[in-house]
Amino acid sequence: EIPEAEAEIDLVSNEVHRLDRVVRTFLDLNRPMELDIEEFDPSELAAAVLEIIRPAATQAKVELQLTKPAAPFAVHADRGLIEQGLLNIVNNAIQAMEGGGIVKTSVSLVNGNCEIAVSDNGPGMPENVRERIFEPYFTTKATGSGIGLAFTKRAMELHGGRVSVESSPGHGATL
């Protein structure tokens, strides 16, 4: 057996299990959900998400940047849900920048709470789009499902958190 192949198979297997759970969460959008709480470093999670999405970013000519806090810290949360939510946001940022750009992800501890911000230097969003992006099935993409950011919002709310957006046309977006 080839060790590199085993590592790749493990990665694919883990992603399949995570995506299966995500699909079940989508299907149960309005039902209560049991969280699988574990302790992890959110900076490490953000770095892992950026590595997963790096091939798509490279193809889209998008540079990914990560800013971590000086001192690592741990959170108690459902890692799979947080990972999928962050993947959704970073993927949307990449797709928003036709012709390339920069996506900056920062992890910080603010008043005892973990804050993860994703900013892009894309075209920004008009108000009529910005106020609807978290609605289930709302999308501006020809091939979009409109469930990614609705899922992300629900995942954050299940943890007692929130997700918000700052954007104006011509000035990118931050979620």
Nearest to 150 by CA among 139, 166, 161: 139
10 Å Cβ neighbour count for 144? 14
The answer to whether residue 137 scores a pLDDT higher than 90 is no
Block residue for tokens 């920004």: 124
Return all residues near 93 (Cβ < 8 A) that are at least 6 apart: 62, 103, 118, 119, 120, 122, 173, 175
User: What's the pLDDT tens digit per position in 73-130?
Assistant: 999 999 988 998 999 999 999 998 988 999 999 999 999 999 999 999 999 998 888 8
Q: Tokens at residue 106, please? A: 């920062």
46-71 confidence digits (pLDDT tens): 999 999 999 999 999 999 999 999 99
* pTM exceeds cut of 0.85: no
Does 168 have pLDDT greater than 80? yes
The pLDDT score that the predictor gives to residue 31 is 64
Q: Which two tokens stand for residue 2?
A: 């080839």
